[in-house]
Amino acid sequence: MSEPDEDFAAMFEASIKAKRFRNGQTIEGTIVAIGPEVAFVNVGGKGEATIDVGELKDDEGDIEVAVGDRIQAVVVSTDGGLTLSRKLALGAATSRQLEDAFHSGLPVEGKVEKAVKGGYEVRIARQRAFCPLSQIDILRTADPSAHEGHVYRFRITEFKEGGKNLVVSRRALLEEEQRAGAAEIRRSIVAGAVMTGRVTSVREFGAFVDLGAGVQGLLHVSEMGWSRVSDTSQVLKPGDEIAVKVLRVDDDTQKISLGLKQLTADPWSTVAGTYEPGQVRTGRVTRLAEFGAFVELEPGVEGLAHASTFASTGRSEGAPAARARTARSPERRSASERGWGPASSGGWSSLVAPGTTASFEILSIDLEKKRISLALVPEGSARAGEAREDMREYAERETGAPGEGFGSLADKLRGALEPRKK
């Protein structure tokens, strides 16, 4: 190979090596030679970079490093090879270097000194700079002091008065990194994958989670826990780092559905072995519906106490139903006549306001549909056993079969609660 060809090959190889690095990146290398104007730094393999000798001198003008020393430096150019700046890495850049960084868009390193009105005071080299509050991060920061003391990379967006007036932005660099890494991140997001993300915002219906490079997924409120979540802000807050499972990915809309409860065992997996019809368990009423009360038996396991199973309220002993009840023997009374049938209109709900804790009997269990039918056991009742028997009798008589679905039972309840036509 001729000498010009060898020069071209060397330049080509240097150019390829330089592509491994990016402007503004801080790297380490070993000084292999120091010349009159530049020094050569080994940055790994056969790659070498150059650095101005002036970057290696102290305030008195003496070179403070020697061949064999390892140094940290910032990449300031990758054109035709790597060019480094040690002063940018050490935070000792001159105003001229900062101006060059401003014109070229080169990132500089700075330390957040303190939060001030409207933003932050940042120390870059010997200069003070201002970073607006909106430019310190992509995400909104709830506590501005959280950034104090941190060293970040910034882009100089304004350079005035010879460097005495500097405005910087960290967000601009973060957004560039996001765009560059978004495609790669999306390739790793597949259904079933468990990933770590950061909560960006919390809404009533769920939370948005950043999975990296600005790619966000939705953690719906129904997927936050096996128990019903009434207030999402009590579960998560912006800035929280959490592990989530990817449930679905819509390639057309780019929407990503996430789950949190899937990373813990489903409490219903133990219901088959621990819950049986006839058992009486303590439960907490979580909410009321037209057809009954939903009762949490344990976190993640909820049953329905149908309105038809609650004791009657507000009846007068002088009413026809009461007189008929006294005319029949106790053995032949129906459940409703004994006072355990449907409550008078709207009366049953007063027995089980949300938050009420009481004893409930399990009437039936449908594991496939994750449904448990319950009946309230009156507190302090001397005839609790008889009451439970009556409640089951009433439920079976009204539905035609024990354990019938909640929907059909609700339909028949509406008929039972309507005034009977004479």
pLDDT in tens, 223-245: 999 988 989 999 999 999 999 99
Average pLDDT over residues 362-390: 75
Which of the residue ranges 11-25, 30-44, 311-325 has the most confident prediction, judged by mean pLDDT? 30-44
> According to the model, what pLDDT value does residue 254 have?
86
Confidence of residue 100 (pLDDT cuts 50, 70, 90): confident
Average pLDDT over residues 365-370: 92
Average pLDDT over residues 66-73: 84
Q: Is the pLDDT of residue 401 over 80?
A: no
> According to the model, what pLDDT value does residue 389 have?
55
Q: Are 199 and 208 in contact (CB under 8 A)?
A: yes
Q: Is the pLDDT of residue 333 over 80?
A: no
Confidence of residue 315 (pLDDT cuts 50, 70, 90): very low
Average pLDDT over residues 105-131: 89
Q: Does 2.40.50.140 match the CATH number of domain 95-174?
A: yes
CA 119 to the chain's CA centroid: 27
Q: Is the pLDDT of residue 410 over 70?
A: no
> According to the model, what pLDDT value does residue 45 have?
63
Quickly count: other Cβ atoms within 10 Å of residue 77's Cβ. 16
Rounded to 5 degrees, φ, ψ at 212 are 125, 145
Average pLDDT over residues 364-384: 81
Which of the residue ranges 106-110, 206-210, 271-275, 416-420 has the most confident prediction, judged by mean pLDDT? 206-210
Rounded to 5 degrees, φ, ψ at 350 are -70, -15
Domain pair 95-174 / 267-417, same fold: yes
Lowest mean pLDDT among 95-99, 170-174, 249-253, 262-266: 95-99
> According to the model, what pLDDT value does residue 151 have?
84
Domain definitions of the chain by residue range: 3-89, 95-174, 191-263, 267-417
Confidence of residue 43 (pLDDT cuts 50, 70, 90): confident
Q: Is the pLDDT of residue 341 over 60?
A: no
**Alpha-carbon distances of 402 from 65, 142, 279, 282, rounded to whole Å:** 88, 54, 16, 22
In the predicted model, what is the mean pLDDT of the chain? 78
Q: Are 153 and 195 in contact (CB under 8 A)?
A: no
Q: Which two tokens stand for residue 113?
A: 């000194």
> According to the model, what pLDDT value does residue 92 have?
56
Lowest mean pLDDT among 21-35, 111-125, 159-173, 374-388: 374-388
> According to the model, what pLDDT value does residue 326 have?
34
CATH of 191-263, one of 3.40.960.10, 3.20.20.10, 2.40.50.140, 2.40.160.20: 2.40.50.140
Confidence of residue 141 (pLDDT cuts 50, 70, 90): confident
> Which of 297, 296, 299 is CA-nearest to residue 281?
297
Q: Is the pLDDT of residue 406 over 50?
A: no
Quickly count: other Cβ atoms within 10 Å of residue 396's Cβ. 16
Rounded to 5 degrees, φ, ψ at 403 are 75, 15
> According to the model, what pLDDT value does residue 336 have?
39
> Which percentage of the chain shows pLDDT scores above 70?
74
Confidence of residue 380 (pLDDT cuts 50, 70, 90): low
| H helices present in 19-132, as ranges | 86-90, 95-104
Lowest mean pLDDT among 15-24, 71-80, 293-302: 15-24
> According to the model, what pLDDT value does residue 365 have?
94
Average pLDDT over residues 184-194: 90
Q: What is the CATH number of domain 3-89?
A: 2.40.50.140
DSSP-assigned letter for residue 147? G
- Selected residue with higher pLDDT from 87 and 224: 224
DSSP-assigned letter for residue 241? E
* Homologous superfamily of the 267-417 domain (CATH): Nucleic acid-binding proteins (2.40.50.140)
Q: Which two tokens stand for residue 416?
A: 């039972």
